[in-house]
Amino acid sequence: MTPPSTGTGSKTRSSIDPRIRQRRNEIKRSRGRSRLRWVLAVVAVAVLVAGGIGLLHTSFFSARVVTVTGAHPHTPTATIEVAAGLDHRPPLISVDPGAVARRVETLPFIASAQVHRHWPDGVQIAVTERVPVLQMAGPSSSWSTLDGQGRTLEVRPARAPGLLVLIVHTPTGGVAPAVVGGTLPSEADVGLMVCRTLPAAFFAQVVSVTVAADSTVTLALNSGLTVLVGTDADLTAKYEDVAAIIANGSLRGAKTIDVTVPQSPTVGR
């Protein structure tokens, strides 16, 4: 037999003050409205962000103003812009300064590049060019222009005035210049060191720098003299010896100046 209901639950529900019940309902509705406002705020922010990103990818914020600074007489501005990937004026937000700089630095004459974005539509590229120091013959009748580090900057059909000629021999034969953008092998290091360190007052008198198979260096002067430099040790002292002999010594009939032993130079006739 089912026991009779005591009616306690119904009495409890019926005994709640209507004002309390109303307050509870108001709290529930308030919480619901707060959650709705929060959801709407999140949606609004997402819409604004998406819209902002979309706007940044429009032509209003494209790299329309590209400025190249720094002396670059051997590299046209248009060539730099193409290498940078900015010739089509991409959205500024898509321009990665580091990646752009690395692309520009692949150009043969460019030693370094720094890239800065300037909102809303500007990109500045500051470049430093490599300095042509020497040239090497070949292949065929062409001449390659190199910087002091042995990097090939360009290939010309004829010899360029005002640049040293570098000749490098090894036990297995001569060394040819690298392709544009490439560098010479280590066998040329001693010759490159001499090319880089020749004093300015002495540089104009040197026609060519030759590295022998035993890694010793000789210089051919425009006066017809040959300077035996030897290794790249004590180069400053050797240059001073040559300068002193040329300035003060009688070189009539002389053919060689031997400075392989620093501070003990000799003149050969």
List the pLDDT tens digit at each of the 269 positions of the chain.
Answer: 455 555 554 444 556 777 777 767 777 777 766 776 676 666 656 555 554 555 444 556 788 999 999 999 999 999 999 999 999 999 999 999 999 999 999 999 999 999 999 999 999 999 999 999 999 998 788 999 999 999 999 999 999 999 999 999 999 999 999 999 999 999 999 999 999 999 988 899 999 999 999 999 999 999 999 999 999 999 999 999 999 988 887 788 899 999 999 989 999 98
What is the tally of helices (H) and strands (E) in the chain? Answer: 7, 13
Domain assignment present for residue 157? The answer is yes
Whether residue 94 is found in the same domain as residue 205: no
Picking from 135, 130, 181, 178, the residue whose alpha carbon sits closest to that of residue 158 is 135
Q: Which helix (H) or strand (E) holds 208?
A: strand 206-211
Whether residue 123 is found in the same domain as residue 138: no
Whether residue 125 is found in the same domain as residue 142: no
How many angstroms from the chain centroid is the CA of residue 16? 80
Whether residue 139 is found in the same domain as residue 230: yes
Whether residue 111 is found in the same domain as residue 201: no
Domain assignment present for residue 226? The answer is yes
Domain assignment present for residue 190? The answer is yes
Quote the pLDDT of residue 19.
Answer: 74
Whether residue 113 is found in the same domain as residue 162: no
Q: Please identify which residue in the block is written with the tokens 């460019």.
A: 110
Cα(25)–Cα(187) distance, integer angstroms: 90
Tokens coding 141: 């009748």
Quote the pLDDT of residue 27.
Answer: 75
pTM of the model: 0.75
Quote the pLDDT of residue 54.
Answer: 52
Quote the pLDDT of residue 256.
Answer: 95
Q: Please identify which residue in the block is written with the tokens 């360190």.
A: 197
